[in-house]
Structure 1
Amino acid sequence: MRIQRILATTAALSCLATLAACEEGGRTSPPGGATATPSASAAPAEGPLAEAQRHMRQFTSCDDLSAKADDPRMPRGDFPKAGQWSVAELGVCSDKAEKGDIVIAVPKDMKAFQEGYKQYVMDRIKGGDGGYGHESRVLIGKGFVAFPTATKSALKLVRSDLRVLVCNPGGRVPEGYKREKPLVEGCGLTDFVSAEDGSGSPNFEMPQDPAGDGSKLGQPKNGSLGLPRAGSIAELRKLVGNSLDCEKNFSTDPEAVAIESIDYQPVVKGNALDWGVTGRALCGQPAGERRAHDLSWLDTVGDMKKLQTKAKAAQQADLKDDGKLKATGSLLLVGENIAVETNDPSSRFGLYQLQFLYLNCTPGFSAPSGYRLEKSQVEGCVLTNYEPDHPLR
């Protein structure tokens, strides 16, 4: 029975949170006739709706704008209509790339709109929908509100200045996301897009079990199987000599170390001391007659926790865009008091043989039996020699 209640609540949530039209019994149906295209005369050329469209089209498609009340893409049911929650104008456009629509509301008074939405959420909670609003698709912009029906549309829009309005008191913003104040008390604005099916923003606080149950090979119940160390950059250079291009092409000159290219991007950016790094060198060939190639960075580390904390934040920022790391960005492989940054899988293969481990902060990551998976010095990350895209052979 509890499962049935949860399913019923989830279906009801989608009435407003996803803006699909609701049928009797809380079932949802897609916006009627979503493939229909409104006439060109229905699209306002100027005014707040057109301004909102132009703004959103910098981040996602918002085509076939219409302000017609009978447009089949307009939601039915509980969605606020003109005159409710201070809404003066309503429009709708299509994000065909993501197979969804975006409803646009222009309130006369943004605070009044937010108060109306908050009251609606409170009423739904009092009515028994305790989780209502957790998967909010109410995105607050400057002078307008967007209601994307597709999660991917919402993910693109929060990369702009639009923020999700969350008014359920139980709603939490995970680590790594913005927490901003709206115009009404008891709510919050965030760039975290929650989705029940896991297709929203990655949650960097999802629990991970780096030790497993102790039954997987290569995964100690406590401590580590051992990490490499070196007393200096010179020792580190010698240690990794067979894995990286450090014998002929090597420099500790700060200007050379600061070199990066579109194909080779380091993990450590800016002042290395801020990352807990005490010494730094560049291996590989900087740009000259040829483009830069085979670039990797060597680090001696005075504060490993600081390095891993900063690297985690950088990795989270990269993952927020599309849930994937940039292919040209380096991965951070760490030892006890040393680290290497490289984006070359074959180089990392050699480094894993030297017992370096990769700092992985991807939510829910786990490794198959036979791979190392150990605790890092920061919560939410693990150290491993398993890369799903480049498994060891």
Structure 2
Amino acid sequence: MRLQRIFAATATLAALTTLATACEDPAKAGPPAASPSASPTATAGASAQASASPTAAAPATLAEAQAYVQKYTSCENLSTGPADRVDLAGYAPVGAWSVTERGICSDTKEQDEIVISMVSDMKVHQQAYKDHITKRLDEGYWDAGLYEPVFSTKTFTVSARKTATALALAKSDLRVLVCNPDFTVPEGYKKEKALVDGCVLTDFVNARDGKGSPVQGPALASAGSIEELRKLVSPKAVDCTEMAVTDEHIQSIDYLPVVGRDGSSAWGVRQRAVCGKLGGATRAHNLNWLDLVSDMKTLQTRSKAAQLAEVGQQRNLTQSKLMVGTNVAVESNNPAVRKELYKLGFLRLDCEPAFSAPARSQVRKAQVDGCVLTDFERPTM
């Protein structure tokens, strides 16, 4: 299946007109494909004038494109010379994919660099982009084309490296071109037909850091007491037929809690309970932990440190995952339990470097930098 655990490469290889997406493995990333401008399937003349977005303008020169971008964000010091501000190794060269000219300008407000590419035939260009994304997907890069947005219009494309710059550009008539079949335009955002089948144009900006275009989701779960939390999650998600309110670090060889042995108060947890068979004559099993949280930032900070300590190591499959609400949390290593908790307003804390999720997933900002709250989990292979 396409979804598989991978880490993104450096964000400087922004997927623009030529598209080495940041998730690609540099060891596998090959040179851009040859220009398809001579393809017999390309529609001459009319396709060159076709709009990449029904409402977008059509600047004919780099200077006109720069002037258009400057309506929405800073774009200073336009240069067409050797790339001294952006590594263009991942971009198709001028002359490929109907790219006729390329310039780089600086977004001085966000300390970012913007790449503008003039395109003579946008349909040919979009087809080349789609072919590239399809190739990356076939190679196993499930998130190819989901991040580092490529803004497309009638006659040029724009790429920015920082999310804040991309969000500013999204307020224009420019539209993000997406050709990944796993992408779904979130409710409330524009969805327009691209010039090639299998691609869409949208004003939604997807970002790995969770700071892209906001997506509305259900309210996060909350409870006034440990008993309220028990009623909220049982029996819909957690089997709390047997529950013990305890600060003891109960564990088994099958279930390891998130909160450490140094006491729940050190993790910002006010009261703690465990549901399931606690063991005795038989081994403990079916354990899930319920937490009434007094300091959510502390809980997330401590959990982040524990997650980062596991990076590069063989992850212990018995380690529970932290599911949080507003002032409550549930720790579970059972995927079926977590699936039901998502429906009840819980989201999983994920602090994995370069975390990414399909656009249809919920991704919210956590209370600690470098983490997000999400309902997306990569399938185990």
TM-score, normalisation: structure 1: 0.46
Higher relative helix content? 1
Larger CA Rg, structure 1 vs 2: 1
TM-score, normalisation: structure 2: 0.47
